[in-house]
Amino acid sequence: MRLLVVGAGATGGYFGGRLAQAGRDVTFLVRPQRAALIAAQGLQIISPHGDVTLQPQLAVTGSIAAPYDAVLLAVKAYSLEAALEDFAPAVGPDTMIIPVLNGMRHMDVLTARFGAQAVVGGVCKVAATIDGEGRILQLAGFQELIYGERDGTASSRMQALDTFMKNAGFTALLSPDVEREMWEKWILLASMGGVTCLMRGTIGDIVAAPGGLDFTHRFINEVVTVASHVGKAPSPGFLKAATAMLTEKGSPQASSMYRDLQNGAPIEADQIIGDLLARAQSTGIATPLLAAAYASLAIYQSRQKAA
């Protein structure tokens, strides 16, 4: 199997790098500046699971001439539109696109562009970032890549993908209900992103504030209500674990969106909060806390664009 990884950033670089380290046929589609950096210093991963420097196969945007068996799409959600034409030549009649973007809007965009058959479900769980030297830093020990047919079937192509992904230094899971996995991740991201960005603090800060615990529970309830009506309801086990994580006393955790906001970086407000709010409004579900969070983040985005 030949895999094209779109983007050698924190997520694509990490999982693609581990696959390349394990000897899989992986090529990274990158822009010229990133290609030059990797050519000069290698693809560097700094991780609790072991550091590695690789000299991976690279394809510069505009140079793809033939289809790949699979495309791992790991760009930021707000960069999807720009990436579509970059990797389109890699998509043939039998190519699988495995997106690991946040939210669910990208599934509609990809299906409209490439057809439902090409797009499978995907979820990644990793905490990683790119440092000032261009290295990929894994910030915590968890590292999981989940994939599957959207209808839950164990197709032959998915079995082949599972074999390709297994035993590459991270947890690889072929899921019979990948769409539920995707909705559960969205629930977690929207809840953590909404509460930390709106309250401008960590989970521990919010829980310790007057009314903070009740606010968090109400925010989670809004998100879960929307997901259950317009998508897939979370499993009881997931909801229990997620609620415990989001209400843990003294927790230093905060969302990556909150970290981006603090650093003045672009954020995925439209994809993580705005799209969920729009789906709620389309079905008449009242979500005042989601609306407040999105309004706050929209103000930030407007100021950033104006700067």
DSSP strands (E only) in 74-218: 96-99, 121-130, 136-148, 171-174
Angle at 253 between CA 248 and CA 256, to 5 degrees: 140
Label residue 264 left, alpha or beta by phi (over 0 means left) and psi (-120 to 50 means alpha): left
> How would you classify the pairing of strands 121-130 and 136-148?
antiparallel
CA dihedral (229, 230, 232, 234) positive or negative:
negative
106: nearest Cα among 125, 130, 82, 70 = 82
Q: Give the burial class of 32: count Cβ atoms within 10 A of its Cβ; 0-12 exposed, 13-18 middle, 19 or more buried.
A: exposed
Name the catalytic one among 76, 125, 166, 185.
185
- Contact criterion met (CB below 8 Å) for 10 and 44: no
Determine the Cα–Cα distance for residues 31 and 50; give it in Å rounded to an integer: 27
Determine the Cα–Cα distance for residues 83 and 287; give it in Å rounded to an integer: 32
Q: Is 232 a catalytic residue?
A: no
Residue 147, classed as helix, strand or coil, is strand
246: nearest Cα among 170, 193, 200, 286 = 193
Active site residues: 185
